[in-house]
Copies of this chain bind each other. A is one copy, B any other.
Amino acid sequence: MKIAVLPGDGIGPEIISQAVKVLNALGESFEMETAPVGGAGYEAHGHPLPEGTLKLALEADAVLFGAVGDWKYDTLDRPLRPEQAILGLRKNLNLFANLRPAILYPELAGASTLKPEVVSGLDILIVRELTGDIYFGQPRGVRVCPDGPFMGSREGFDTMRYSEPEIRRIAHVAFQAAQKRGKRLTSVDKANVLETFQFWKDIVTEVAKEYPDVALDHMYVDNAAMQLVRAPKKFDVIVTGNMFGDILSDAAAMLTGSIGMLPSASLDANNKGLYEPSHGSAPDIAGKGIANPLATILSAAMMLRYSLNRAEQADRVEAAVKKVLAQGLRTSDIYEEGTTRVGTEEMGNAVVKALA
């Protein structure tokens, strides 16, 4: 089993090295190869997703990804900016299914900005389509407006598109995820306004016939944003498009107040995947040794489960993370009075120790 390790920018390298340490402590031998990505890719090879990095990712069985981005790259042309590496990897590796759990660990209930009774025990899974929608739809660009009241002015434009097979395959992923959990699936759309999402809703409704054991409901995206704030525990699995999923999954993550704890998986049709923490590269705290490595370690656990077919090892890692939380160890982002503040390295070591 070969793992492509892409640390990236900011706190990326620090948190990735803790996850690598945990993987190495499992007593299995994984082949791991590291390559630069994002700003680091640009520095090394003039491109956020250098050819060698893409090649490695394509060859590997799984990709462990840190984070990309730094203010110093903000002035680069868009195709050279760090986040283009993420979009490029998703597209080239066909990683169409993004799984983002939003879980509130009982020990961290106080970290949420929401009242404890609203979020305690929160455990939702957002399934976001990741290779279609307005993220990649052509045509797009800036042009002279060809019609309507503003004809002749400049305009920016993009195309939202979803084809039937794209909707079907993400719906299947979501229904199957729901079968393994609470058996409830909410499909989020904007069918009252968008043709794309009326079509989405129709196809998801068709796919539902194959999953009679899952209760499906449909919700408009604006209402979903409200219900996430009002009563997030009512959700089990949410499935939605790339754009709405971007917004809702970040909102859901923030409900927990501890985004430093949340992993993510982005899978292709054969369960090859890219695994990364839900948080960003946090350049403001990079190099200080205080970043929380747990989201990355939990992402490695998802990798063990989904791509490396090692569910037991995944369970071990997840149990070790719960154990260090129970021991009261906290990085700064989740620190509360009465707990023990530790750095990135110490936290990684504690997880390794807890594996035993």
Contacts and interface: CB of A to CB of B under 8 A. Distances in A.
Interface string A201-240: 0000000000000000000011101101111000000000
A118 B78 CA distance: 35
**Count of identical protomers in the assembly:** 2
Interface string A137-181: 110111001011010011111111111111000000000000000
Interface size class of A (residues with CB under 8 A): 35 or more
Interface in A182-201: 190, 192-200
Interface of A: 78, 81, 83, 87, 113-115, 118, 134-135, 137-138, 140-142, 145, 147-148, 150, 153-166, 190, 192-200, 221-223, 225-226, 228-231, 243-244, 246-251, 253-255, 257, 259
Contacts of A163: 145, 150, 153-155
A250 B226 contact: yes
Contact of A138 (B115, B147, B199, B254): B147
A243 B156 CA distance: 15
B247 A225 contact: yes
Contact of A193 (B135, B157, B225, B254): B135
A157 B159 contact: yes
Contacts of A248: 225
A83 B192 contact: yes
Contacts of A223: 250
Given A113-B230, A150-B165, A166-B150, A199 B250 contact: no
A350 B166 CA distance: 55
Nearest to A157: B161
